[in-house]
Amino acid sequence: MAAPRWERLGWVGARADGGGEPMDDAGLVGAANSGDAEAFGELYLRHRSWAWRVARRILGDDDLAWDAVHDAFRQALALFPGFELRARFTTFLYPVVKNAALMALRRRRSDGVAAPEELLAQGALALVQPDERTPLVKAIAALPEIHREVVLLRFGDELPLEAVAEALGIPLGTAKSRLHHALKALGADPALKKSLNF
């Protein structure tokens, strides 16, 4: 049996549409809705690292983050067929991954581990090695979760504010307000002002 067309063309792991171009997320969702399991597998391969970074920021633990990613993709798979992609796939996926990671935090808490808010701040710090923890990373980790989340989605994941609002299930004005307050708090941090000279 010959390799699939997209592999023969050198696009291993990047499904091709009928025109020979790699499929975008909407095309993969359409194919998955038609029963193509490989299309959902490609969505997983395409977005698993991003989803892992989101879960890792929340959990601060590599293995637990992978568990949360797998739980999130299992939940996403249950929506097929019939799933309708109305925005970026990552915009849809963010709350699914976040909820899976928060469930893992709750399980850890019931095992006598620190409260979720403490772990969320630790998770943000855990992404960088201790010797690389700049004042900016520390200041972001110290923000309240609702502000930290907007900053990380906007600047860490480079989502436009509209996608941030949709991923969080909040109005665009609220996302803008949270980002404004977060940036104001970061600008008021004396250690940050000194290190960034502003």
User: What does the alpha-carbon distance between residue 52 and residue 46 come to, in Å, rounded to a whole number?
Assistant: 12
Question: Where is the domain boundary, 114, 148, 168?
Answer: 114
Q: Is residue 162 part of a domain?
A: yes
Q: What is the pLDDT of residue 4?
A: 36
- pLDDT at res. 166: 87
- Provide the pLDDT for residue 197: 54
In a domain, 14, yes or no: no
Taking CA atoms, 65 is separated from 39, 78, 181, in Å, by: 23, 20, 28
Question: In 3-state terms, what secondary structure has residue 22?
Answer: strand
Q: Give the pair of three-digit tokens for residue 142.
A: 């110290």
Query: Which CATH number fits the domain that encloses residue 35?
Result: 1.10.1740.10
Q: How far apart are CA 67 and CA 52, in angstroms?
A: 9
**In tens digits, what is the pLDDT along the chain, a chain of 198 residues?**
333 333 333 334 555 555 567 789 999 999 999 999 899 999 999 999 999 998 998 888 899 999 999 999 999 999 999 999 988 899 899 999 999 998 888 887 666 554 444 444 444 444 444 444 577 778 888 889 899 989 988 888 888 899 899 888 899 999 999 999 998 998 888 877 666 554
CB 139 within 8 A of CB 191: yes
Q: Which of 47, 80, 114 is the last residue of a domain?
A: 114
Q: Whole-angstrom Cα distance, residue 25 to residue 83?
A: 12
Same domain, 106 and 149: no
Domain assignment of residue 70, given as a range: 24-114
Which pLDDT score is estimated for 10? Answer: 36
User: Structurally, how many domains does the chain consist of?
Assistant: 2
Q: Are residues 80 and 134 in the same domain?
A: no
In the numeric block, which tokens belong to residue 68?
A: 């949360």
Give residue 109's pLDDT: 67
What pLDDT, on the 0 to 100 scale, is given for residue 127? 45
Residues 177 and 105 in one domain: no
Considering the domain boundaries, does residue 10 fall inside one? no
Q: How far is CA 158 from CA 118, 164, 168, in A?
A: 25, 9, 15
- Are the C-beta atoms of residues 75 and 102 closer than 8 Å to each other? no
pLDDT at residue 196, as a whole number: 57
158 with 187, same domain: the answer is yes
Do 77 and 151 belong to one domain? no
CATH number at residue 134: 1.10.10.10
pLDDT of residue 74: 94
ω before 81 within 30° of 0 (cis)?
Answer: yes
Same domain, 150 and 110: no
The verdict on 31 and 80 lying in the same domain is yes
